[in-house]
Amino acid sequence: MSDRIVFLASRNAKKLGEMQRILAEVASGVVVVGLDEVAAYDEPVEDQPGFEGNALLKARAGLTATGLPTLADDSGLCVDALNGMPGVLSARWAGPPKSDARNNELLLAQLADVPDERRTAHFTCAVAYCHPDGTTHVVHGHMPGRVAREPRGSGGFGYDVLFVADELAEVDGREVTTAELDAADKDRISHRGKALAEIAPLVAASFGS
């Protein structure tokens, strides 16, 4: 493999593309690879109580298994009316098997009687970077907003179809979910985009860029 490869411990093609776009701005020539491009290994159970703990767990496991500088994130939707849940359980809120559609349906059902002014929420993200030289970095990103009453849009993933971000709630006078934003706008305002933008220069520096 090239010596300018960073491993992102994820199979999510949209996360991989997001990291590649953001990293390219500060470190040209660094290639991002995902779980499907490395030898299979036993992925850790995400059993930590917070986002940072799970991100570190995955990054350390990825580094040990591949020997590559490794990035991992843990993120989720924290809904005020649900006391901060689904939180770290966001991806598996509706139980196995994992399903974005089922998670969204359950969330809407749980908030069915909650008035608009109390549907506030925020996405949060922790990104960990572990380098073979022993260096470890963790950064955080947040995106405040609220939960819409019906899914809209085909971009993004997870709860994007239900989330209206405070920073970009309207486009051309129409309310939009983060699933209706183009990639550049979402990268700029999203919890993960902010965290990746903060950690990208640290990744670049580790490659001498």
According to the annotation, is 58 in a ligand binding site?
Answer: no
User: How distant, in Å, are the alpha carbons of 17, 93, 181, 193, 202 from that of 33?
Assistant: 10, 28, 25, 18, 17
- Over the chain (209 residues), what is each successive 10-residue block's mean pLDDT? 83 85 81 94 94 97 97 96 97 93 98 97 97 96 97 92 94 92 88 90 85
Answer yes or no: is 207 a known binding residue: no
Max distance between CA atoms of the chain, in angstroms, equals: 54
Instruction: Classify each residue of 112-127 as buried b or exposed e, where b means 16 or more C-beta atoms within 10 Å of its C-beta.
Output: eebeeeebbbbbbbbb
pTM exceeds 0.75: yes
Q: For residue 209, what pLDDT is reported?
A: 62
CATH number assigned to the domain with residue range 5-206, chosen from the 4 options 3.30.60.50, 3.90.950.10, 3.20.20.70, 3.30.465.10? 3.90.950.10
Q: Is 200 helix (H, G, I), strand (E, B) or coil?
A: helix
Q: Which of 42, 74, 172, 187 is catalytic?
A: 74
Question: Is position 98 annotated in a ligand binding site?
Answer: no
74 part of the active site: yes
